[in-house]
Amino acid sequence: MEFPEDLKYTREHEWVSVEGKVATIGITDHAQHQLGDVVFVELPAVGDRLEKSDAFGVVESTKAVSDIYAPVSGEVVEVNDDLPDNPELINEDPYGDGWIVKVTLGDPTDLDDLLSADEYRAYVEESAAE
């Protein structure tokens, strides 16, 4: 199970990576493992506005439909066009080619309450122990 150090995480199992004013968002290795084979992804449109903590898309596996929640607020500037035809990228490379959207980060303080890699790893391990 991977928890890259340079990313921030949510308790809903999304990751965020920030470069300048652009935040890239995806779901974590733990999330894709729990879901199983991803067979469909519902993406927002470029130009849509995401609100922190609101659901902005859906990742579907064979058996389950799972909402994706925005870790930060911002305007969608790019969506991963490879996902509609190759949803399995989320399973194969959740932190790389399986990225989901990029947004312009409106308010950098949105990042403050996100989890570090260590905090997220601890959270996942705690939840597994229940």
Partner 1 sequence: MRRSPLHELHRQSGARFTEFAGWEMPVQYRGIVAEHEAVRARAGLFDVSHMGEIEVGGRDALALCQHVTTNDAAKLAVGAAQYTLWCDERGGTIDDTILYRLGAERYLFCVNASNAAICSAWITEQARAFPGARVVDRSDELGLIAVQAPRAAELLARAGGERATRLGRFQCGESSVAGVDVVAARTGYTGEDGFELFAATADLSALWSALLDAGRPLGGEPIGLGARDTLRLEAALPLYGHELSRDISPLEAGLGWAVKLGKGRFIGGEALAEAKARGPARRLIGLRMTDPGIARGEYPVVAGGRQVGVVTSGTKSPTLGIAIALALIARESVDAPLAVQIRGREVRAERAALPFYRRAAGDGDR
Contact residues for partner 1, defined by CB under 8 A: 36-37, 39-40, 42, 58, 60-63, 65, 84
d(CA 64, CA 55): 16
In the complex with partner 1, the residue whose CB is nearer, 43 or 115, is 43
Closer residue to partner 1 in complex, CB, 56/110: 56
In whole angstroms, how close is the CB of 21 to partner 1 at the nearest point? 31
The minimum distance between CB 61 and partner 1, in angstroms, equals 8
How many Å apart are CA 65 and CA 95, to the nearest integer? 20
Specify the residue, 40 or 125, whose C-beta has the smaller distance to partner 1.
40
All residues at 6 or more sequence positions from 22 whose CB lies less than 8 Å from its CB, including other chains: 77, 102, 103, 104, 105
- For partner 1, the closer CB: 94 or 114: 94
CB of 54 to partner 1, least distance (A): 14
Cα separation, 35 vs 81, whole angstroms:
21
Nearest approach in angstroms of CB 12 to partner 1 is: 18
Q: Give the Cα separation of 112 and 91 in Å (integer).
A: 28
CA distance 63 to 21: 36
